[in-house]
Amino acid sequence: MTDHSQGRSNVPVGGSMPQSRQTISGSKGLEFAEPLIFELGQVDRCGVDFDDVEISSDRLNGQRRKEAVGWPGLSEPQVVRHYTRLSQKNYGIDSGFYPLGSCTMKHNPRVNEKMARLPGLGDIHPLQPESTVQGALELIDTLAHWLKTLCGMPAIAMSPAAGAHGELCGMMAIKSAIQARGEAATRTRVLVPESAHGTNPASAAACGFSVDTIPANEQGRVDLDAFKKKLGDDVAGIMLTNPNTCGLFESDIINIADAIHDAGGYFYCDGANFNAIVGRVRPGDLGIDCMHLNLHKTFSTPHGGGGPGAGPVVLSEALASFAPLPYVVHDKDHYSIIEHTAHSDAQPFGRLKGYHGQMGVFIRSLGFILSHGADGLLQASTDAVLNANYLRVKLQDQMSIPFPGMCMHEVLFDDRFLKDTDVSTLDFAKAMIDEGFHPMTMYFPLVVHGALLMEPTESESKDTLDLYVKTLRGLIEHAQTGDSQFFKNAPILTPRRRLDETAAARKPVLRWTPCQSME
């Protein structure tokens, strides 16, 4: 079977701590024991007032629902309290430092929430007559212009709903270009670095490509020789993240672009780490054919606990004509949206999503972009890289760094500094939680052992970084005293302690059912 070197136990081993004082109600001060809505609700309660209208079943084709849905009834105060209490168990960027590598957890400006809800933007229907939504089409086009200019690319597909969706879009455009050249049967192999995010090979496979992995060299970058050896007539392209998932700029990128083009392939760039270079480097100048942007990363739209995001894809001349439907066009002062191949002058490969795209996310990111402007975006990316390098120099004597030297907007450590302590990367991260810090990204990328990937972003003050450094240094010292139990018990100050992920996977309980609450 395939080799794995990073498995670890997911059954937590800590026992009950003396600090966990029991209360009668189950709540502890401002931390509330909050059941499920299904355990709180009653059938005859409701949080919205409606008249009880009679209807005849004549026009329902005999399909009137016979059984109850089963939803619990709650009044508005109960619902507000319930979700308020749930929110209090969560850590967000608003709560504190959130250095998740490759996620770009920067501040989400509040004016953007206001803008997204404006009448005339938040409430318009996508299929209203074009004449009644000119401002909306103008907004999409304005954002598109900014993104193309910042990237130095001539075209853009705005509709993908997230980064992974954008990857799919880019790879579909590439496959379409290959098909147009009559090479679809032969060019089936896509090269992907071993440090790539899992969405990259998954997206390639979703297009029907096979994936061939390129190893990293000792500088944490794509091994150029190994890459060149893998070129051939059957190569469709390369998917490269730049800056890469080790937080490093792929210095050979222009050579890589030239080589892949000479081999007849295309260059997909994963733009998740664009925050390092906005305003300073245009990916279009590096020779890429397409690149997705994560509006919910680089362009500050809220992560929302797992979306929604948006993943527009900038495209080169070679791929522009294959951009999916729909897309906005404008001439003089009139905007139109092209929704059908028959109305298009190009060869769109199809439609990826219902309606036009993540408009609510477009509005928020445009707010951010207009606020910063060209000068501010450059300052933001510079500050992001400065903050990451500051963490690097402040921690590298105590933490082990696999790829020394200047990093981009994120810094990668591995777990060698924890060798002989019996403290794993996971244990170390859980101890950070008790200190009020969300941990950095753990165990990614896979090219180093026990990875710790930290991305501070430009939204953090020097004071925050200094406190973070002080805390980490203290934890490292503690780890070196041999008190590994301290780390294995962590976290102890959180609403829940370590959770049994093994049991969750072995016997999945994925919804509430009435008999559960009776146990």
Partner 1 sequence: MTVKFTEDHEWISINGDIATVGITEHAIEQLGDLVFVEVPEAGRTIAKGEEAAVVESVKAASEVYAPVSGEIVDGNSAIADDPAGVSGDPAGNGWFFKIKLSDPSELDGMMDAEAYKAHTE
Partner 2 sequence: MRYLPLTDADRSEMLSEIGAKSSQDMYCDVPDQAILKTPTDLPNHATEMGIEKTIKGMAAKNLSPATAPFFLGAGAYQHHVPAAVDHLTQRGEFLTAYTPYQPEISQGTLQYLYEFQTQVAQLTAMDVANASMYDGATACSEAVLMAGRVTRKNRAVLAGGLHPHYREVTDTNARFLNIELVGPDADPTHAAYPASVIDLIDDQTSCVVVQTPDLFGRIIDLNPIAEAAHAKGALLVAVTTEIISLGLLEAPGNQGADIVVAEGQSLGNALSFGGPYVGLFATRSKFLRQMPGRICGETQDVEGQRGWVLTLSTREQHIRREKATSNICTNSGLCALAFTIHASLLGEQGLNRLARINHANACMLADKLALLDGIEVLNDSFFNEFTVKLNKPANDVVNALADKGILAGVPLSRLLPDRDDLTNMMLVTATECTTDQDVNALITALKEVL
Q: Is 309 in the site for partner 2 (CB under 8 A)?
A: yes
The site map against partner 2 for 60-79 (x = CB under 8 A) is xxxxxxxxxxxxxxx-x--x
229 touches, from partner 1, partner 2, none (C-beta below 5 to 8 Å by class):
none
Could you give the C-alpha distances from 460 to 90, 225, 276, 395, 430, in angstroms and in order? Answer: 20, 39, 15, 17, 22
Report phi then psi at 257, rounded to 5. -60, -45
Chain positions 119 to 148 lying near partner 2, rule: CB under 8 A, are: 119-129, 131-136, 138-139, 142, 146
4 touches, from partner 2, partner 1, none (C-beta below 5 to 8 Å by class):
partner 1
Cis peptide leading into residue 326 (ω within 30°): yes
Chain positions 251 to 280 lying near partner 1, rule: CB under 8 A, are: none
Torsion of CA 500, 506, 509, 514, to 10 degrees: -110
Q: Is 5 in the site for partner 1 (CB under 8 A)?
A: yes
2 touches, from partner 1, partner 2, none (C-beta below 5 to 8 Å by class):
partner 1
Q: Which residue has the tokens 């004071």?
A: 463
Q: Is 1 in the site for partner 2 (CB under 8 A)?
A: no
In order, the DSSP letters of 351-390 are B-SSSS--HHHHHHHHHHHHHHHHHHHHHHHHHHHHHHHH
Tell the smallest beta-carbon distance from residue 76 to partner 1 (Å): 39
Q: Is 502 in the site for partner 1 (CB under 8 A)?
A: yes
From 444, 455, 102, select the one nearest 273 (Cα to Cα).
102
Q: Which residue has the tokens 């295309």?
A: 266
Tell the smallest beta-carbon distance from residue 282 to partner 2 (Å): 6
Q: How many residues does the chain have?
A: 519
Tell the smallest beta-carbon distance from residue 218 to partner 1 (Å): 23
Tell the smallest beta-carbon distance from residue 8 to partner 1 (Å): 5
Residue from 132, 501, 516, 517 that binds partner 1 (CB under 8 A)?
Answer: 501
Chain positions 163 to 192 lying near partner 2, rule: CB under 8 A, are: 163-165, 167-168, 172, 175
Tell me whether residue 10 or residue 485 sits nearer to partner 1 (CB atom): 10
Say how far apart CA 40 and CA 338 lie, in whole Å: 48
Q: Is 10 in the site for partner 1 (CB under 8 A)?
A: yes
184 touches, from partner 1, partner 2, none (C-beta below 5 to 8 Å by class):
none
Tell me whether residue 4 or residue 59 sits nearer to partner 1 (CB atom): 4
Using the Cα atoms of residue 384, residue 366, residue 306 and residue 161 in order, give the sign of their dihedral. negative
Say how far apart CA 328 and CA 134 lie, in whole Å: 11
Say how far apart CA 204 and CA 192 lie, in whole Å: 9
Chain positions 416 to 445 lying near partner 2, rule: CB under 8 A, are: 429-430, 433, 438-439, 444
Stretch that binds partner 2, among 227-235, 263-271, 341-349, 473-481 (CB under 8 A): 341-349
Tell the smallest beta-carbon distance from residue 76 to partner 2 (Å): 6
Q: Is 370 in the site for partner 2 (CB under 8 A)?
A: yes
Chain positions 262 to 281 lying near partner 2, rule: CB under 8 A, are: 277, 279-281
107 touches, from partner 2, partner 1, none (C-beta below 5 to 8 Å by class):
partner 2
Q: Is 210 in the site for partner 1 (CB under 8 A)?
A: no
List of residues 6+ apart from 95 with CB closer than 8 A: 438
Stretch that binds partner 1, among 104-112, 113-121, 379-387, 496-504 (CB under 8 A): 496-504
Q: Is 461 in the site for partner 2 (CB under 8 A)?
A: yes
Task: Estimate to the nearest angstrom the gap between the alpha carbon of 61 and the chain centroid.
Answer: 44
Say how far apart CA 166 and CA 141 lie, in whole Å: 18
Tell the smallest beta-carbon distance from residue 197 to partner 1 (Å): 16
Q: Is 344 in the site for partner 1 (CB under 8 A)?
A: no
Q: Find the helix or strand (DSSP H, E) in which 77 lies.
A: helix 76-87
Chain positions 11 to 40 lying near partner 1, rule: CB under 8 A, are: 11
75-85 b/e (C-beta count within 10 Å ≥ 16 → b)? eeebeeebeeb
Tell the smallest beta-carbon distance from residue 466 to partner 2 (Å): 10
Say how far apart CA 415 and CA 412 lie, in whole Å: 10
Chain positions 416 to 475 lying near partner 1, rule: CB under 8 A, are: 443
Tell me whether residue 308 or residue 480 sits nearer to partner 2 (CB atom): 308
Say how far apart CA 350 and CA 348 lie, in whole Å: 5
Q: Is 8 in the site for partner 1 (CB under 8 A)?
A: yes
From 453, 468, 460, select the one nearest 247 (Cα to Cα).
453
From 145, 161, 173, 164, select the one nearest 290 (Cα to Cα).
173
Tell me whether residue 8 or residue 89 sits nearer to partner 1 (CB atom): 8
Q: Is 150 in the site for partner 2 (CB under 8 A)?
A: yes
Tell the smallest beta-carbon distance from residue 307 to partner 1 (Å): 22
Residue from 64, 65, 66, 506 that binds partner 1 (CB under 8 A)?
Answer: 506
Report phi then psi at 201, rounded to 5. -65, -35
List of residues 6+ apart from 69 with CB closer than 8 A: none
Specify the DSSP class assigned to residue 418: G
Q: Is 188 in the site for partner 1 (CB under 8 A)?
A: no
